[in-house]
Structure 1
Amino acid sequence: MIELVRTNDAVIISFVESLMRDAGIACFVADQNMSILEGSIGLLQKRVMIDADQADAARRILKDAGIENEIRQK
């Protein structure tokens, strides 16, 4: 698994999950519970994780959606 996106923005997380689901790319949000425990003050970011073999396709999807600035570097 690799990290595709890391952010505090719930809208971006939801959008990325939707894009991945529509493309048939399995993903999960890591650190979701930790973010809730810290009281939502924005210290801990959530991470969208995907299989490494689907990274290129996932990055291309985010670029096509106009949110390439959210992609974590390799």
Structure 2
Amino acid sequence: MQELMRSNDAVLISFVDALLNDAGIPHFVADQHMSILDGSIGAIPRRILVDPERLDQARRLMRDAELGHELS
């Protein structure tokens, strides 16, 4: 898995998760439960990881959604 993006913004992570699900791109949201360790202050960014074979497609999807500036 390769990193597509990382963010502390839970709404953005949720939106990108929905975009990838709708496009049928397998992915994994890493560090989702790390807020337990950092006291729920959002200090540890969540990462969206994608299969390397689908990374270009996922990046294109992000750019089409005008989220290219969020890419890792």
TM range (shorter): over 0.9
Q: Is there any run of 5+ residues in structure 2 with no aligned partner, and where?
A: none
Report what 2:3 is aligned to. Answer: 3
Distance in 1 (CA, whole Å) between partners of 2:36 and 2:69 is 25
Q: Which of structure 1's runs of 4+ aligned residues deviate more than 2 A?
A: none
1:33 aligns with 2:47: no
| Percentage of pairs with the same residue | 54
RMSD, aligned α-carbons = 0.9
Distance in 2 (CA, whole Å) between partners of 1:35 and 1:47 is 13
SS in 2 for 1:28: strand
**Matched residues, number:** 72
Report what 2:16 is aligned to. Answer: 16
Q: Is there any run of 5+ residues in structure 1 with no aligned partner, and where?
A: none
Amino acid at match of 1:71: L
Distance in 1 (CA, whole Å) between partners of 2:10 and 2:33 is 13
Decide which moves more: 16-25 or 28-37: 28-37
CA shift digits 1:8-62 (9 cap, x unpaired): 0001100110010011001111011112321222221000011011010000000
